[in-house]
Amino acid sequence: MTDGPGVASAPTARRGAGSAVLTGAAVLSAYGRGTQALLSGVLSGRPAFAPVQRFDVRARRVRFAATMPGSPELLTEVTAAVREACDDAGLSPSDRARSPLFLAIHGDPAIARAPEAGQPGLGPEAFTAAVARGCGLAEQPIRCYMSACVAASTAIADAAAIIARGHADRVVVAGGYLVDCDQFALFDAGRVLADDGQVRPFSAGRRGLLLGDGVGAVVIESGESARARRAPPLARMAGWGRTGDAYHPCLPQPEGHGMARAVTAALQRAGIEAEDLGYINAHGSGTGQSDPAETNALRLALGDAVTTVPVSSTKSMHGQALEASGVLELIVTLLAARKGMLPVNAGFLGADDRCRLNLVLGEPMAATAEFAMSLNAAFGGANTALVIGLP
């Protein structure tokens, strides 16, 4: 739509002086409930895609997604994940009652079929309040993010930034998307789903994305708060960046300038150099235009380190969880870094010259990743980069 904004005009990222740490995590994916199921799944290298059974897809061009069995209910699953993350963090009832919830969702799944008069009661804030109530979290302030595929990663960045500035001691961040007939129909109509039933990020012959179930929750708190509770951090929220492409309603800026600025800001806030990164879980949607743009962004932001930092897109296994992607993929990144095993970039058929990265291929890679990055991009040219550091 335009020639793009160029890489200039990126201000130097600032942050508050405080530290932010992750002290609890919980997740659901097509591999099942729990972090161990997810870690085992992505380290198996076997994608979770299968023909959709949850709803009728006979009229669709593509019939694959990564789903759990049955028809899990979003409010139930998000509430369970938030509760489990709080348990994982060892939060007492009084800790929970003082913790706000930032929730990333598309909206209440019921709203599209509700009579008009009932729609106001089915807004995302009502949904978020119900989750908070069900988990004993503070019912005010709550915040709902609906920024598509960067909703959860933006919520995580905001939570870390708020805590670093001392504006809050703790925030619980969650995201949820369960593959549904409406979004499936929209993505099918948009002809972005992979008709070969596999997601092949950065690969020659890639044919698009596939949707996947994802519900995740993390507890982010100040280092001081975690120490006071004697809660061992799972990782530090070391850095974060969010930017816009100023290019197009739904296409990424081809040269990756916006994403490059997000990566640079995250590295600046983390106080590290590109070569300090031990792993990048890329956005890697597996679509024709997004993967080369992201590759260009990484080449711009990482410089020579782009040839050595291991990269994979775990969407190649658990699928695209839309608003929940950021939290699902941060948890994957966290689990991989803590395990010292990096998941493969599945579905790879062969090199694409426009996507030259140091991809993890074939087998998971044993590696020490003291710092790891998770990237997300969305419609509207929104980009986010999150950096975690092992404690």
Residue from 14, 46, 61, 133 in contact with other proteins (CB under 8 A): 14
Nearer to other proteins, 147 or 203 (CB): 147
* Contact predicate 357/316, CB 8 Å: no
Footprint (CB under 8 A) of other proteins, residues 86-105:
none
Give least dist CB 112 to other proteins, A.
4
Nearer to other proteins, 154 or 345 (CB): 154
Q: Which helix (H) or strand (E) holds 176?
A: strand 170-177
Helix residue ranges per DSSP H, the chain: 35-44, 74-89, 93-97, 124-135, 151-164, 181-189, 223-229, 257-270, 290-302, 315-318, 325-339
Nearest CB to other proteins, comparing residues 42 and 137: 137
Q: How far is CA 109 from the centre of its chain?
A: 20
List the interface residues with other proteins, window 296-355 (CB under 8 A): none
Residue 4 or 278 having the CB closest to other proteins: 4
Buried-exposed string 24-38: b where 16+ CB fall within 10 A, e elsewhere: bbbbbbbbebebeeb
* Pick 47 or 109: Cβ nearer other proteins: 109
Among 12, 230, 350, 366, binds other proteins (CB under 8 A): 12
Position 161 contacts other proteins (CB under 8 A) = yes
Cα 247 → chain centroid: 22
Distance CA 253, CA 26 (A): 33
Q: How many residues bind other proteins (CB under 8 A)?
A: 71
Least CB distance to other proteins at residue 10 (A): 8
Site pattern 54..93 for other proteins (x: CB under 8 A): -----x----------------------------------
Task: Give buried/exposed letters for 304-318 (b at 16+ CB in 10 A, else e).
Answer: ebbeebbbbbbbbbb
Q: Which is nearer to other proteins, 6 or 205 (CB)?
A: 6
- Residue of 261, 269, 260, 219 lying closest to 240 (CA atoms): 269
What single-letter amino acid sits at 263? V
How far apart, in Å, do the first and last CA atoms of the chain sit?
44
Binding mask 268-307 for other proteins (x = CB under 8 A): ----------------------------------------
The single residue among 33, 54, 63, 106 that binds other proteins, judged by CB under 8 A, is 106
Is 10 a binder of other proteins (CB under 8 A)?
Answer: yes
Binder among 29, 154, 333, 374 for other proteins (CB under 8 A) = 154
Q: Check the CA dihedral 70-75-76-82 and report its sign.
A: positive
